[in-house]
Amino acid sequence: MNATSPSPAAGPSYAAPVRPAAGFLPASKIGLVAMVGRGDPDVIPLWFGEGDLTTPAFINEAANRALAAGETFYTWQRGIPPLREAIAEYTRRVYGIACGPERITVTGSGMQAILLTCQALIGRGDNAVIVGPIWPNIVHCVELQEGEPRQIDLAFDGANWSLDLDRLFAAVDERTRLIFVNSPNNPTGWTMPSEMQKALLDFCRERRIWLVADEVYARLVYDRPVAPSFLEHAGPDDPLIVVQSFSKPWAMTGWRLGWVTSPDSFGDLLAKLTQINTSGSPAFLQHGALAAIREGEPFLAEMVERCRVGREVVLQGLARFPRVRIARPEAAFYAFFGVDGMDDSLEFAKRLVREAKVGLAPGTAFGDGGEGYLRLCFASAPERLQRAMDRMAPLLS
Ligand SMILES: Cc1ncc(COP(=O)(O)O)c(C=O)c1O
């Protein structure tokens, strides 16, 4: 069968053939749980990766001003120059490294950066080695390119998550085009130690494989100002692509803006892919992002504090249930906990919606290594989280 021939098994039936790689894309398992509670105002929604705060006013106002000033035309594919310069300055300030705007590309979300990167790197028969459990979208991007995702899961010893780097290396072969690491990790909160980042980057450099580092949670850390970054070990021409996003630190999930730090030449390649995608992110929104980057530290500090309080409410709440196992998350805004005796997290999450009116993400959404777990986003008001913990008691006890 060639890639465009009709496939009776390619999901729903279409008016004309679709590529099987697209037709087979699965529905989001988090979405399947959310469907159960759709339209029920009583449900406490902690299933998605976003908090309950709206974007702060100073960011909205900057975008409004740009809109009123007529910033409504096609724009730069790699982002407006002042934003690229400001992100380079932010990179120097936050990580203490040299970085110029030629390494920065603004994208239409972290997600788009990952998709374009896969379009650039993965072809049929190639593979991507991915550290899991992981937010599933990267896996689907590889599959859409007719590549093979090879997920190597972290191990949980009852207290901590850890990665066996030798297992990761052993999964690499001559068709491996990229290694994907999301640190701090969604869903576990695991953060790759700096020495391990260095060893992995050395390996990729030697093997001429791209290292795609998803660092969208870099600033949501509880024991230091920023998580260790691969950027601290890389020169401007290393095969490193770091994906970041405005979504999480500045409560901008609906804006769809992110950025990539990469060698200049890879940024130019992203520009060509952007040209045949959105042609560039809306200029007036980028002015809002500029305000976030330049003036966003106080809001970010509030956000981290809010999440720190939320984390305590949830950890204390879960400690009441002997069936629950969890590693204390030092970063990101998720509690990823195992429940003894729960072998179908999708069904269990649906029951939680129906019977407890609490919406969580099923662990199976994050790959095989996630089955047996549930993910709760604690970027929410403490009272709301407390109510959720109380409501879940009958099912978790
Ligand atoms: C690990 C990870 N990477 C990337 C993203 C993409 O973020 P966005 O597309 O909103 O920039 C998310 C969002 O949930 C995420 O959890």
CATH of the domain at 353: 3.90.1150.10
Check if the beta carbon of residue 188 is closer than 8 Å to that of residue 134.
no
Domain around 71: 58-295
Q: Separation of 162 CA from ligand 1 center, angstroms? A: 22
Q: Select from 295, 267, 227, 278 the least CA-distant residue to 59.
A: 295
Q: Is the pLDDT of residue 226 over 70?
A: yes
pLDDT at residue 158, as a whole number: 87
DSSP letter (8 states) at residue 244 = E
Average pLDDT score over residue span 367-389: 96
Q: Is the pLDDT of residue 4 over 60?
A: no
- Which of 30, 105, 111 maximizes ligand 1 atoms within 8 Å of its Cβ, making it the mutation to test the pocket? 111
- Please say which residue of 254, 273, 295 terminates a domain: 295
157 and 43 housed in the same domain: no
Where does the chain have alpha helices with state H?
A: 20-23, 29-37, 57-68, 81-95, 110-121, 137-144, 165-170, 194-207, 264-275, 283-295, 297-319, 345-351, 382-396
Q: Separation of 216 CA from ligand 1 center, angstroms? A: 6
63 and 185 housed in the same domain: yes
Average pLDDT score over residue span 98-117: 98
Q: Is the pLDDT of residue 64 over 70?
A: yes
196 and 152 housed in the same domain: yes
DSSP letter (8 states) at residue 61 = H
In angstroms, the CA 280 to CA 115 distance is 15
Phi/psi zone of residue 70: left (φ > 0), alpha (ψ -120 to 50 degrees), beta?
A: left
Q: Strand 240-245's sheet: what is its strand order?
A: 104-107, 258-261, 240-245, 210-214, 176-182, 127-132, 148-153
Band the pLDDT of 9: cuts 50, 70, 90.
low
pTM: predicted TM-score of the whole model, two decimal places: 0.95
Q: How many C-beta atoms lie closer than 10 Å to residue 157's C-beta?
A: 8
DSSP letter (8 states) at residue 260 = E
- Sorted by sequence, the CB contacts under 8 Å of residue 389 that are 6+ apart come out as 313, 314, 317, 318, 320
- Please give the structure tokens belonging to residue 226: 């920023």
In angstroms, the CA 129 to CA 151 distance is 6
Q: Separation of 220 CA from ligand 1 center, angstroms? A: 13
pLDDT at residue 12, as a whole number: 74
- Please give the structure tokens belonging to residue 270: 């992203």
| Arithmetic mean of pLDDT over the chain | 95
Specify the ligand 1 atom closest to the Cα of 214.
3
pLDDT at residue 1, as a whole number: 39
Average pLDDT score over residue span 325-346: 96
Look at ligand 1, atom 8, and give the residue with the nearest C-alpha. Answer: 110
Q: Separation of 133 CA from ligand 1 center, angstroms? A: 14
Average pLDDT score over residue span 376-393: 97
Q: Is the pLDDT of residue 7 over 90?
A: no
254 and 359 housed in the same domain: no
Q: Separation of 375 CA from ligand 1 center, angstroms? A: 15
Peptide bond into 26 cis (omega under 30): no
Ligand 1 binding site (Cβ under 6 Å of any ligand atom): 49, 109-111, 135, 182, 186, 214, 216, 245, 247, 253, 258
194 and 262 housed in the same domain: yes
Q: Is the pLDDT of residue 82 over 50?
A: yes
Q: Select from 187, 240, 185 the least CA-distant residue to 216.
A: 185
pLDDT at residue 10, as a whole number: 56
In a domain, 155, yes or no: yes
pLDDT at residue 38, as a whole number: 87
Phi/psi zone of residue 266: left (φ > 0), alpha (ψ -120 to 50 degrees), beta?
A: alpha
CATH of the domain at 245: 3.40.640.10
- Please say which residue of 295, 327, 351 terminates a domain: 295
Q: Separation of 102 CA from ligand 1 center, angstroms? A: 24
In a domain, 206, yes or no: yes
- Please give the structure tokens belonging to residue 340: 């003894």
Q: Which residue has the higher pLDDT, 291 or 158?
A: 291
- Please say which residue of 247, 272, 295 terminates a domain: 295
**Sign of the Cα pseudo-torsion (180, 183, 185, 191, in order):** positive
63 and 44 housed in the same domain: no
* C-alpha pair distances (Å), 286 with each of 28, 75, 215, 276, 301: 29, 10, 20, 20, 22
Q: Give the range among 3-12, 138-147, 383-392 with minimum mean pLDDT.
A: 3-12
Look at ligand 1, atom 13, and give the residue with the nearest C-alpha. Answer: 49
Q: Is the pLDDT of residue 2 over 90?
A: no
* C-alpha pair distances (Å), 174 with each of 123, 141, 145, 207, 339: 13, 20, 17, 9, 39
Local structure of 107: helix, strand or coil: strand
* Distance in angstroms between the alpha carbons of the first and the last residue of the chain: 51
pLDDT at residue 183, as a whole number: 98
187 and 305 housed in the same domain: no
- Which uninterrupted H or E stretch holds 213? strand 210-214
Band the pLDDT of 62: cuts 50, 70, 90.
very high
Average pLDDT score over residue span 18-35: 93
Q: How many C-beta atoms lie closer than 10 Å to residue 108's C-beta?
A: 21
pLDDT at residue 13, as a whole number: 85
Average pLDDT score over residue span 78-102: 97
Which of 6-10, 154-158, 347-351 is modeled with the greatest confidence?
Answer: 347-351
* C-alpha pair distances (Å), 109 with each of 40, 52, 99, 179, 307: 29, 19, 21, 20, 22
What radius of gyration, in Å, describes the C-alpha atoms of the chain? 21
In a domain, 7, yes or no: no
- Which of 50, 55, 137, 242 maximizes ligand 1 atoms within 8 Å of its Cβ, making it the mutation to test the pocket? 137
In a domain, 10, yes or no: no
Q: Could you give the percent of the chain with pLDDT greater than 90?
A: 94
In angstroms, the CA 230 to CA 213 distance is 7
pLDDT at residue 197, as a whole number: 98
- Please give the structure tokens belonging to residue 151: 């997920």
Residue at 129: amino acid letter: V
Number of compact structural domains in the chain: 2
In tens, the pLDDT along 124-175 reads: 999 999 999 999 999 999 999 999 999 999 999 988 999 999 999 999 999 9
Q: Is the pLDDT of residue 30 over 70?
A: yes
pLDDT at residue 103, as a whole number: 98
Q: Is the pLDDT of residue 348 over 90?
A: yes
**Sign of the Cα pseudo-torsion (167, 185, 151, 176, in order):** negative
* C-alpha pair distances (Å), 87 with each of 20, 195, 226, 261: 39, 25, 15, 9
In tens, the pLDDT along 274-284 reads: 999 999 999 99
